[in-house]
Chains A and B, each alone.
Chain A
Amino acid sequence: MSLRDRRLALLPALALVVLTAACGGSDDGGDGGGGTPADTIPVAASDDACDVEADELPAGTHEFEITNEGSKVTEFYVYAEGDRVMAEIENIAPGLSRPLLVELPAGEYETVCKPGMIGDGIRNPLTVTGEAAQLSEDESLAQAGVDYQRYVQSQTGALIEQTTAFVDAVKAGDVEGAKALYPVARTYWERIEPVAEIFGDLDPLIDGREGDQEEGQDFTGFHRIEQALWVTGDVSAMGPYADNLLADVRRVVELADETTLEPLQLANGAKALLDEVATGKITGEEERYSRTDLWDFAANVEGSQAAVQALRPFLEEADPELVAEIDERFAETEAELGQYRAGDGWMLHDQLTQDQLKGLSDRITALTESVSQVAAVVARR
């Protein structure tokens, strides 16, 4: 949030493209592309398996039908090389089935289930045959915004669901339940923060920290409720804040779903998310009451990676060495962070030693140096 002012200053220069055509108005969070599906491929997801009933498909649009047969909430992804998200569906509760439409050009992919919604997931190869479409650099850049929008839409659906659950728990006075839901809901927020922050008036209402408000402005949003949950344990006065939070999240989601970022915005957003980690999460400023900063850390890194991966087809042509370096540094960052998993979540900020925080900081510093080079590569087009 400390970087918000800087980004707002850039706003007049940003050319937002609000789509009104086919890509907008997806009916669920998992719409992976247009076209009519040629088939339906069942996916049986459990806590330790991800059985996809196909490992080879013809190029075109396919529908996956994911059934969660496990005990944990799961996610399903189709990744291109470098974990570039081709399609993704979040937050499939145990016992439920959800469809996912995805348009796949010829190439090598992976299908991934993520029981518990974290980690590298359970992966299987998927080969798509047919004629590989050769996009020009311009075309692949234009595609990047659409790809990232698809990622955003996959997150916003889950953001609303999880925020709703969180708000319900708060209003029901279920302090322990709300505490457990808080970092999960924030994960989806932190992943797409560069988009959310474009709508400058909503961001402070949803994500402002105590003391950031203008004079006369109330302290609202996630962190207001966080304070009540962890400091006093009394959420009896939080009902209106909870209602407003959900309303504001819905408004931001509505806007974000319709927004396609320009390639340069994607590059800058990827960098900005890493700056968020460096300035807010490693320091423990963001989640000062709950100490759940590592959840946000992971989400920011995932969001940054999603933005970079949307640009990947272009970058692989324009600067393959940079792509290799970025891949390596994302992997190093994930490995460093991976040491601090705790169950399905993360250790608390104050459970890490200064040396451990320094190890994380070193990785983010290096990754940021690499990701900061992306914008110029894009701008050279």
Chain B
Amino acid sequence: MTEQQGPEEQPAGVSRRRLFGWLGAGTAGVVAAGATGGLIGRSTAQEPAPGGPRADDAVPFTGPHQAGIVTPAQDRLHFVALDVTTDDRDELVAVLKAWTDAARRMTAGRDAGPVGAVDGERYAPPDDTGEAIGLPPSGLTLTIGFGPTLFTAADGTDRFGLAARRPAPLTELPAFPGDQLRPEISGGDLCIQACANDPQVAVHAVRNLVRLGAGVVSVRWSQLGFGRTSSTSTGQDTPRNLFGFKDGTNNLKAEASAGLDRFVWVADGDSGADWLAGGSYLVTRRIRMLIEPWDTSSLDEQHRTIGRTKGSGAPLGQQAEFDPVDFTKQVDGEFAIPETSHVFLAHPTNSGTAILRRGYSFVDGSDGLGRLDAGLFFIAYQRDPATGFVQVQRNLRLDAMNEYIRHTSSAVFACPPGVQGDDDWWGRALFEG
């Protein structure tokens, strides 16, 4: 939901007050917009679309980075956060290895277990649950992350001898004004993000991984999502979120490698790089949209809340979706883009940073009062949460959109680099290093 659009060039004539007045607010150590705006702009700029994979295809499971981060965002999500219920490090490692094997198979469109859903013994439970029989790989990606509590429990216990290996940036997110977080659907020792172009494929993957973890891990919370709300490739159209607006017009894109290296991937020399280099930090926020008040607000109010037009997605004062945001433009003696609009506050020029968003819409039925329990399951990847999501979110304190949203869940995870080779497994460098 954060706006990351950046102009190709810094808009001419923008007043220093209008730029820096917002920059200072609560963002200690923020990178000055003047220094980063150009790079962010280039990072998020449109480049020609390559011939992307088809929706049915398999996405390679192995590689230097985990799939599911810059992979062109699939249409469906099943996200699950788990707690480890054993104190036995060996048991946890055994599950991580079993998960890796199953993830290799399932992302290739095969059954979760080596025997399969229907080829096993008559009196044995099948080692695959079967609901994906006959379905193609559907672009399935499975992405694992490790939460702060895996390293050090809330009471300070070093549960698995990992406390010394926790990277400094992997800490609980700070509280933000207006948070209405529910602890039971926040946090988690581990997470698995399953994305696919067929919801049944994503659900099948999570279901089978959860089953493999019985006795060692326990599901803490999970979230289904539909309708990607961000493009992560230049080959994708900008989708609309449940506010009805295009969201993520100028997200960081897979094709912008300089921006990814700067803002998404943990690099050599960063804290925890001995096991995390090539990985990324994942922040999730379940953002409930207050649908009914939004739907009854005027079109003008909606435009001024977001800072874009609902139809084309053009920044206010401009004509087309990809026109540069111009904070100096005035209409009838007032700035076209209000200073409390989401675009104004979330724009890289004013937030001073960039994150890779990968969120999904959700509708979890209704809330018992007849109102839709719906919104955005926000997912962002970044090199450091403090200079990524936290910096952006702090800048949104006066966001007019806050009137229409409530953050109800929050979590942060460190996602290791990709699995490489046949003997590698999720978390090997962390547990063996």
Partner-B contacts on A (CB < 8 A): 264, 267, 329, 332, 354, 358, 362-363, 365-370, 372-373, 375-376, 378-380
Contact = CB atoms under 8 A, between A and B. Distances in A.
Contact of A379 (B85, B122, B184): B122
B215 A376 contact: no
Interface string B210-251: 010011101000000000000000000000000000000000
B299 to A, nearest CB: 43
A366 B218 CA distance: 10
B123 A376 contact: yes
A366 B122 contact: no
B124 interface: yes
B121 interface: yes
Interface string B113-148: 000000001111100000000000000000000000
Main secondary structure of the interface of B (DSSP, over half): loop
Question: Which are the 8 A-B pairs with shortest beta-carbon distances?
Answer: A366-B215, A376-B124, A379-B123, A375-B123, A369-B214, A362-B218, A366-B214, A376-B123
Given A362-B85, A369-B211, A379 B218 contact: no
A370 to B, nearest CB: 8
A304 to B, nearest CB: 16
Nearest to B85: A362
B215 A378 contact: no
Contacts of A372: 125
B43 to A, nearest CB: 43
Interface string B160-186: 000000000000000000000000100
Contacts of A362: 85, 215, 218
The CB with the most chain B CB atoms within 10 A, among A264, A362, A363, is that of A362
- Max count, chain A CB within 10 A of own CB: residue among B85, B123, B216: B123
Nearest to B125: A372
Is the interface on chain B under 10, 10 to 19, 20 to 34, or 35 or more residues? 10 to 19
Contacts of B123: 264, 267, 375-376, 378-379
A372 B216 CA distance: 17
A218 to B, nearest CB: 35
A380 B122 CA distance: 10
A367 B218 CA distance: 13
Contacts of A354: 184
Contacts of B125: 372-373, 376
19 contacts: A264-B123, A267-B123, A329-B215, A332-B215, A354-B184, A358-B218, A362-B215, A362-B218, A365-B214, A366-B216, A368-B214, A369-B211, A370-B215, A372-B125, A373-B124, A375-B124, A376-B121, A376-B124, A379-B124
Nearest to B211: A369
B186 to A, nearest CB: 14
A97 to B, nearest CB: 44
A265 to B, nearest CB: 11
Given A367-B215, A369-B215, 20 more contacts: A267-B123, A329-B215, A358-B218, A362-B85, A362-B215, A362-B218, A365-B214, A366-B215, A366-B216, A369-B214, A373-B124, A373-B125, A375-B123, A375-B124, A376-B121, A376-B123, A376-B124, A376-B125, A379-B121, A380-B121
A354 B85 CA distance: 16
Contacts of A368: 214
Contact of B215 (A365, A373, A379): A365
Contacts of A358: 218
Nearest to A268: B123
B315 to A, nearest CB: 46
Contacts of B122: 376, 379
B214 to A, nearest CB: 4
Nearest to B213: A366
Interface string B183-202: 01000000000000000000
B128 to A, nearest CB: 14
A263 to B, nearest CB: 11
Interface string B88-126: 000000000000000000000000000000000111110
Nearest to A328: B215
Contacts of B184: 354
Contacts of B85: 362
A237 B123 CA distance: 47
Interface in B45-72: none
Contacts of A380: 121
Contacts of A379: 121-124
